[in-house]
Structure 1
Amino acid sequence: MARAGAQVLARVAVAVRAGAAPLWWLGVVAAGVGALVPGLTGRRIGLLSGAVFFLLALAAVFAVRRGRYAALAESATRAAKNDVLQDRRVTLHNWRRRHRWWLAAAFLAAVGSSFALPAAGGMLLAGAGAGLWAKAARLGRLERDADALLWVRVDWLAKGPAGKRVGSYRRTGIAAGDAAPGGARRPARV
C-alpha cells in the first residue's frame, strides 16, 4: 500500500525494454512463417527487403526521442523517501497487457504482408524489438555513467517513458529496485 503523498515509480529502462522481447519473438516467428510463403516478389527479394527493413527499424527505434531521453536523464531529481519503486516484473506485465492487441495486430499484419513480400514484415517487427533493446542498453550506459538509476512516474507512462506528459525523471542509487542498469534482470545474489 502506498504511503500518503507517495508516487509509484517505474524504471525507465524497463519500460523501454518491455516491448523488445515480444516484438523480437513475434517478428522472428512472423518472418519464419513468411519465409515459407513464396509471395508475389519471391523469397529472395522478400528476405533482402526484410534485412533492409530490419536495419531501418532498428536505427529508427533507437534514434527516436534520443535527445529527450538524454535531457530528462540529465535533469533527473532525487526520488523522495516515500516514493514506491515498482518491480520490474510488474512494469513488464503492465506494458504487455496494455499493448497486447497492438502486438497481435502487428503480428497478423506481418504474416499477412508475407503474401506480397515474404518475411519482410516479420523482420521489420524484429528490428523494432532490437532497436528497443539497443535503446535500453544506451539508457543503461547513461545510468552507469551517472551512478544512478532512472525512474518515471507510472501515471505518466501512457505515451511512453519520454512522452509529452513526462515532466522529469527521478533517480535513485544504483542498488535500488530489482533491475540492473539497462532494465535487465539483476543476477541472483548468492
Structure 2
Amino acid sequence: MTRGAQGLVRTAVVVRAGAAPLWWLGLFAAGIGLLPGGLTGRRIGVLAGAVLFFAVAVAVAYCRRRRYERLTRGASRAGRFDVLQDRGVTVRNWRRGHRWWLVLAFLAALGSAFAVPAAGGMALAGAGAGLWWKAAWLGRREHRDASLVWVRVDWLGPRAGAPVGKQVKGYRVTGTAAGDAAPGGARRR
C-alpha cells in the first residue's frame, strides 16, 4: 500500500457475514432439538422458541443503530489510494475469526434442547435473521444516500469485530459502483 492508504471493508458485508452461519446452525439445532422431549415438552419448546426467534431477531436488528447512524453521518470520502477488500475475503475472515463462537453457540443451543426443545436453535436462527434485517437496513440507507459505507480493516481487529465497536473512529464512503457487493452486502449481480 502507498503511504496514507488504508484497507477498507464494507460495513454491511461485515454485518451480513454472520447471518448465514447463525441461521443454518440455528435451524439445524432446532431440528435436532425436537428429538428429545425435554423438561417442558415439544409444544411449549416450539412456542417458546418462536417467541425467542422474534425477540432475538428484533433485538439484533435494532441494536446499536444510533451508532451506525452517527458514524455514517460523519463519514469522509475514501481516498484515491485506499484498498477496497473483496466481499468473499471479508466473509471468510469474519467466519474464521468467529468459528469457535459459532461452535459454542451451536452446542449451547443443542444442550438447551434437553430443557426446552428447539428453543435455543430458534433463538440462534433469530440472531441470523436479525443480522440479515440489519444488513438490509444498511443497504436501504446506502441506496438512499447513493454511497457505500466502509470501515478500516485495522479497526476491526484480528477477529473481524463489530463495525461499530469502540475502536472504530469513523467510516469512509464511496460511490455505489465501488467494490464487488451491492448495497446491503449481498453479491452484486
Q: Structure 2 matches for 1:102-113, cutoff 5 A?
A: 102-113=101-112
| Residue 61 of structure 2 is aligned to residue 62 of structure 1 | yes
Please state if 1:169 is matched with 2:168: no
Runs of at least 5 residues in structure 1 that lack an aligned partner in the other structure = none
Identity %: 66
AA aligned opposite 1:93: R
Aligned positions of 1:22-171 closer than 5 A: 22-158=21-157, 159-171=161-173
Q: TM-score, normalised by structure 2?
A: 0.97
Residue identity in the other structure for 2:41: G
SS, match of residue 49 in structure 1: helix
Runs in 1 of length 4+ with deviation above 3 angstroms? none
State the SS of the aligned residue for 2:185: coil
- CA shift for structure 1 position 50: 0.2
User: Which residue is equivalent to 1:184?
Assistant: 186
Instruction: Return 5+ residue gaps in structure 2 as ranges.
Output: none
What code does the residue aligned with 1:183 have?
A: G
- In structure 1, distance between residues paired with 2:148 and 2:186: 12
Structure 1 residue 73, shift from structure 2 partner:
1.1
2:155 alignment partner AA: W
Q: How far apart are residue 4 of structure 1 and its match?
A: 2.5
Query: Matches of 1:144 and 1:74 in 2, distance apart?
Result: 15
DSSP-derived class of the 1:152 partner: strand
Aligned counterparts of 2:140 and 2:62: Cα–Cα separation in 1? 15
Looking at structure 2, the residues matched to 116 and 61 of structure 1 have their Cα atoms a distance apart, in angstroms, of 24
| 1:20 counterpart residue number | 19
Deviations 1:81-136 (A, max 9, x none): 01000000000000000000000000000001000000000000000000000000
C-alpha displacement at 1:164, in angstroms? 1.1
d(CA) in 2 for partners of 1:120, 1:156 = 35
Q: Distance in 1 between matches of 2:36 and 2:177?
A: 49
Three-state SS of the structure 2 residue aligned to 1:36 is: coil
* RMSD (Å), alpha carbons: 0.7
Q: What count of residue pairs does the alignment treat as equivalent?
A: 186
